[in-house]
């Protein structure tokens, strides 16, 4: 598995070695090569591994499914906590209650902000769960979920798009893939099995057709015929009948990733009977056009100096883009709102190219014509057309005043080839109700795929004083039928929840020569 174990910005990889009874960490040099691997003992038979921040110290840790360790007949999980410099601390065993721990995955299954573990048990045809504690230790859960046959490989994703991690498990010697939908409280509902038609082996998750739903691929071998079966997710925890393609000789493991940089997940299959070979399958599916943002905004307390509201955004494409920036304060309806906000637009060279204090003082008719004019005359607004590139909107209080303010950027020209690709806001984050609140709107049409980040420590590295040392992040949505917003995701650090699932493939996967 790959991870940046020493925070140097280079990808490293960790490998489980069953016969050598441990794991090896190879640190990346950043040029496609790696340092010599360092071996760490981990039980008696390292069959599978998972990587996550188990003790919430922002360093990646390693969990190993130990298929051979004897502890009164039960097998264990070995936890190796990361030191943050690419090194791992000595392995600590935890009883799983299984008789043959085979594969392992991690996610926050009970929504407490702490990673948990799910382990497959080959001998009992079951999946078992371990509850993560805040210090990197684990407690065996009494929860056990049965599957059709010997529990094999496991993959975690949000198959029904409810913001809660689910998992899928292959059954070795059986064509069925068991689907379990998480309820966010360590309980799972069993969804209909996905059936391959042949013995299912390993599994990988990705969005192969670009529809925003989690799909998965399973490799199989039966009667001398090797195949890959691609199951397209319906977005509700069920899957369409699989698309099947011929595979290399006796596939033993399948992986998904973008191998040629076209934004589509491809496949790699490890061949078991033909040693030292892999088969590569390039994804040639026609992806739907991605949805674009039409509005982005951030609300926080606007102070002075470095603590004004700074909203950076990027316009990408081939055409100029017509936008409107608003600085809202008096009509926010919150305590201590900014009574006289100003808005400035700054280009990449640091030059202020537009400024406004009260929106009616300039472009009044043009702003009214948009239908989104500010409600209070003291609010600020700017309309402008800019070429592609990075820009910054800066919101301050007139004459050094302070208070809670809102910065907004609207796309007034949603057609064409240019669109928003990034929005970032920097400002002073306080306690409730003066936390930083970022809003965005995705219009009706294709789904938009985004990465949302809350940065603090990395700002300190860049010399920003008073940087937030431990930011948290929540994603909320307000459905049309509700008057309040629902939390659909929360994260303490970028390793405190299951890794985002790659979403799998439709029909066209072409095998590379």
Give the start-to-end residue ranges of the domains of the chain: 2-146, 295-444
Confidence tier at 245 by pLDDT (50, 70, 90): confident
Give pLDDT, residue 123: 78
Give pLDDT tens digits for 27-38.
Answer: 988 888 899 999
Confidence tier at 318 by pLDDT (50, 70, 90): confident
Place of tokens 């000595």: 90
Question: For a pLDDT cut of 90, what percent of the chain falls above it?
Answer: 35
Give pLDDT, residue 474: 76
In this predicted structure, the answer to whether residue 279 has a pLDDT above a threshold of 90 is: no
Are 17 and 24 in contact by the 8 Å Cβ rule? The answer is: yes
Confidence tier at 91 by pLDDT (50, 70, 90): very high
pLDDT mean over 122-134: 88
Q: Which of 186-190, 314-318, 430-434 has the lowest mean pLDDT?
A: 430-434
Give pLDDT, residue 294: 58
In this predicted structure, the answer to whether residue 69 has a pLDDT above a threshold of 60 is: no
pLDDT mean over 321-346: 91
Tokens of 343: 């808005």
Are 328 and 406 in contact by the 8 Å Cβ rule? The answer is: yes
Confidence tier at 505 by pLDDT (50, 70, 90): very low
Are 397 and 340 in contact by the 8 Å Cβ rule? The answer is: yes
Q: Is 305 left (phi over 0), alpha (psi -120 to 50) or beta?
A: left
462: Cα separation from own chain's centroid: 24
Confidence tier at 478 by pLDDT (50, 70, 90): low
Tokens of 6: 């020493």
Give pLDDT, residue 70: 59
Give pLDDT, residue 135: 92
Place of tokens 């594969």: 103
Nearest to 215 by CA among 279, 155, 174, 284: 155
Give pLDDT tens digits for 111-120.
Answer: 888 999 999 9
- Phi, psi (5° rounding) for residue 131? -90, 120
In this predicted structure, the answer to whether residue 504 has a pLDDT above a threshold of 70 is: no
CATH class, domain 295-444, is mainly beta
Give pLDDT, residue 367: 92
Give pLDDT, residue 225: 79
Question: For a pLDDT cut of 70, what percent of the chain falls above it?
Answer: 85
- Phi, psi (5° rounding) for residue 125? 55, 50
Tokens of 425: 């806001």
Place of tokens 């360590």: 186
């Amino acid at each position: 598995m790959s991870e940046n174990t020493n925070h140097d910005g280079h990808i490293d990889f960790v490998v489980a070695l069953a016969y050598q009874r441990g794991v090896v960490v190879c640190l990346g040099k950043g040029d496609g090569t790696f340092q010599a691997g360092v071996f760490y003992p981990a039980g008696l038979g390292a069959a599978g591994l998972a990587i996550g921040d188990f003790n919430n110290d922002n360093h990646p840790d390693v969990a190993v499914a130990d298929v051979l360790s004897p502890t009164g007949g039960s097998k264990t999980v070995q936890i190796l906590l990361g030191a943050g410099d690419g090194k791992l601390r000595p392995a600590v065993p935890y009883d799983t209650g299984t008789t043959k721990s085979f594969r392992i995955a991690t996610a926050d299954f009970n929504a407490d902000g702490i990673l948990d573990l799910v382990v497959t048990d080959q001998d009992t045809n079951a999946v078992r769960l371990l509850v993560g504690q805040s210090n990197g230790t684990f407690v065996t859960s009494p929860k056990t979920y049965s599957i059709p046959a010997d529990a094999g490989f496991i993959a975690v994703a949000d198959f029904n798009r409810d913001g809660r991690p689910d998992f899928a498990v292959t059954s070795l010697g059986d064509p069925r893939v068991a689907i379990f939908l998480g309820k966010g409280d360590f309980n799972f509902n069993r969804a209909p099995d996905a059936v391959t038609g042949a013995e299912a082996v390993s599994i990988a998750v990705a969005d192969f057709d670009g529809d925003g739903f989690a799909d998965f691929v399973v490799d199989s071998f039966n009667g001398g015929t090797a195949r890959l079966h691609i199951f397209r997710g319906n977005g509700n925890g069920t899957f369409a009948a699989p698309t099947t393609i011929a595979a290399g000789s006796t596939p033993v493991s399948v992986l998904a990733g973008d191998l040629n940089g076209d934004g589509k997940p491809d496949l790699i299959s490890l061949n078991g009977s033909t040693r030292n070979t892999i088969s590569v399958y390039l994804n040639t599916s026609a992806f739907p056009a991605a949805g674009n943002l039409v509005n982005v905004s951030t609300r926080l307390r606007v102070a002075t100096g470095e603590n004004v509201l700074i909203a950076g955004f990027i316009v990408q494409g081939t055409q100029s883009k017509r936008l409107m920036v608003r600085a809202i304060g008096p009509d926010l309806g919150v305590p201590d709102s900014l009574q006289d906000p100003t808005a400035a637009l700054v280009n990449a060279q640091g030059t202020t190219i537009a400024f406004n204090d009260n929106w009616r003082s300039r472009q009044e008719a043009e702003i009214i014509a948009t239908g989104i004019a500010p409600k209070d005359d003291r609010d600020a607004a700017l309309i402008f057309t800019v070429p592609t590139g990075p820009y910054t909107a800066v919101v301050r209080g007139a004459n050094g005043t302070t208070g809670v303010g809102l910065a907004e950027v609207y796309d007034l020209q949603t057609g064409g080839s240019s669109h928003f690709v990034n929005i970032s806001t920097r400002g002073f984050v306080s306690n409730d109700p003066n936390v930083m609140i970022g809003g965005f709107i995705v219009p009706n049409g294709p789904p938009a795929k985004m990465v949302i980040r809350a940065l603090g420590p990395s700002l300190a590295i860049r010399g920003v004083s008073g940087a937030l040392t431990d930011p948290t992040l929540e994603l909320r949505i307000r459905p049309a039928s509700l008057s309040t917003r629902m939390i659909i995701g929360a994260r303490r650090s970028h390793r405190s929840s299951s890794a985002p699932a790659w979403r799998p493939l439709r029909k066209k996967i072409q095998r590379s020569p």
